[in-house]
């Protein structure tokens, strides 16, 4: 992180407020005239992307860790006979949704008529 300037460090903090690169650049102290370009450039820099991710993880926690903790909690709740039936059903439902067990699959039978317009219409 020592590779970042003071403005870049502030940009990272500001970016987490609204995910708007231009406004983050302005609030970080960059000129309004160049804020859009600077914001775009900053978001392409690996060191800035990494810092934004580090800050986001500090705020919300590591995504993988949160997923693991949630799944464990749902499993424990589902299996705990002292929990209410409603809570156990909800935990079971959340586990099923996480595992995409309830995804509806729709099968289309029949034909489709396509009308192409434009340069590739006769391809």
**Topology of 6-60 in CATH?**
Arc Repressor Mutant, subunit A (1.10.10)
Question: Has this prediction a pTM greater than 0.85?
Answer: no
Chain segment 38-94, per-residue pLDDT in tens = 999 999 999 999 999 999 988 887 788 888 999 999 999 999 999 999 999 999 999
Radius of gyration of the chain (CA): 24
Q: DSSP H helical segments within 6-119, as ranges?
A: 6-18, 21-27, 35-44, 46-60, 63-79, 85-98
Q: Rounded to whole angstroms, how far apart are CA atoms 82 and 84?
A: 6
Query: Is the pLDDT score of 115 beyond 90?
Result: no
Q: What pLDDT does residue 108 have?
A: 78
Q: Please compute the mean of the pLDDT values over residues 96-119 and round it to a whole number.
A: 80
Q: Rounded to whole angstroms, how far apart are CA atoms 16 and 48?
A: 12
Domain limits, the chain: 6-60, 63-98
Q: Rounded to whole angstroms, how far apart are CA atoms 35 and 39?
A: 6
């Amino acid at each position: 992180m020592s590779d970042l300037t003071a403005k870049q460090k502030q940009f990272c903090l500001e970016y987490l407020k609204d995910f708007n690169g231009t406004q983050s650049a302005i609030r970080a102290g960059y000129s309004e005239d160049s804020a859009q370009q600077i914001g775009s450039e900053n978001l392409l820099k690996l060191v800035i992307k990494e810092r934004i991710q580090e800050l986001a993880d500090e705020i919300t926690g590591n995504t993988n860790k949160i997923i693991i903790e949630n799944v464990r909690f749902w499993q424990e709740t589902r299996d705990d006979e002292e929990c209410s039936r409603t809570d156990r059903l909800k935990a079971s439902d959340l586990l099923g949704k996480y595992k995409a067990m309830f995804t509806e699959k729709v099968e289309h039978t029949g034909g489709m008529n396509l009308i192409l317009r434009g340069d590739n219409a006769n391809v």
